[in-house]
Structure 1
Amino acid sequence: MSGPVAPPRRNVLRGIVLCAIGRREGLEWFGDTRHAFISSLLPLLLFPLLRAVLLPPGQSEVPRGTLLLATITVVLASAVLSHLMATWFRREPLWLRYATAVNWTTWVLQLAVLLAIVATAGLASAGLPPTVALIACFAAVGLYGLWLQWFLARHGLRLGPGRALLVVLAVNAGAAALVAVPEVALREAMLLNGPAPVPASGPFKT
């Protein structure tokens, strides 16, 4: 009599690589538990926090607190919105593995951005106008990112092509709105109220 069958081992790195090249069996290498999801989510939250703490002042045009809040908002909003879409399409039992895969494959896009920077420099040194090279490389990264999200929704949630595209559009639009709307509202309020008065200084201040 044979013993109990051991559960399959999870290999996140292998899953990332397979999904990055469009192999749907890569999804099987991610866990489908809450622990697996939280483990995939924590690096996405801790990395921007460390970057905000360690980044020297004045190294970014965007305030560190604003950048940190925007990044965390996008990460959490994407998870919430994708869960809503999975529930709407009656794919909630598949969501944990899908969301875990989405979180881990986000690092592929980070690598793609670095490669785009290198490619931009290479194309510019080869004679292509720097602006054209920059737009071309980052447009390619953007298209690849959208395709990867669609691929994960298509096979992770087992949706048709159209529904998978709807998930991608809804998640990205919703996350972008949550970041952009408060920023626009704050700027409008500052314009309406005008700049803050500068207090007078020196012995003749009133």
Structure 2
Amino acid sequence: MADEYDFLFKIVLIGESSVGKTNILSRFTRNEFTLESKSTIGIEFATPQSIEIEGKVIKAQIWDTAGQERYRAITAAFYRGAVGALLVYDISKLSTFQSLERWLSELREHADNSSVIMLVGNKSDLKHLRAVPTEEARLFAEKNNLLFLETSALDGTNIGTAFTEVIAEISRVMPTPAPSNGGQGGVKPPRGKVIQTLDPAKEKQARGGCC
């Protein structure tokens, strides 16, 4: 069946308002981009099509929330259970890059300790307005043990690659239970094992957000 999958990963999109998180999500899930996109109010939640990686069928629950300070109260619930994150800044706005330390600290405080994090420099199509050098961002990523890509939600550059690489890395590093027979190596979870799910109340709240 089309809805069958081996694993379900919760991935969050974080970063300042206006860096393009909602358009990144729209480009990946619906191949859409809206120039007049408004700031996300509350939480937007999307489940894209399954991805097959090394024989595993994987679905991702992707959560996008507002970057404005007035929504910080939803932080704990938003991060809880996340095993992956895209930490997004706008290459044409230095302030969005300067805020990354705070976002990263918050993520690591609330999310799973082994979460896979990718630093994403969005709006790479605005090369003529670049305020954050690629090499500076790359050094930040290396210092903090992050994956790194520059993307453009406008023209689609690296959007699919960003999500696919995060999902693939989660698949590689996710913990597996120890073998019961004392043998070497871990035992892979059975088909249908869910890494992260939402309870009905949270899912309903998430779907209630707008873009």
* Structure with the bigger percentage of helix: 1
TM-score, normalising length from structure 2?
0.30
TM-score, normalising length from structure 1?
0.30
Q: Flag the structure with more relative contact order, 1 or 2, with Cα contacts below 8 A and sequence separation at least 6.
A: 2
* Structure with the bigger percentage of strand: 2
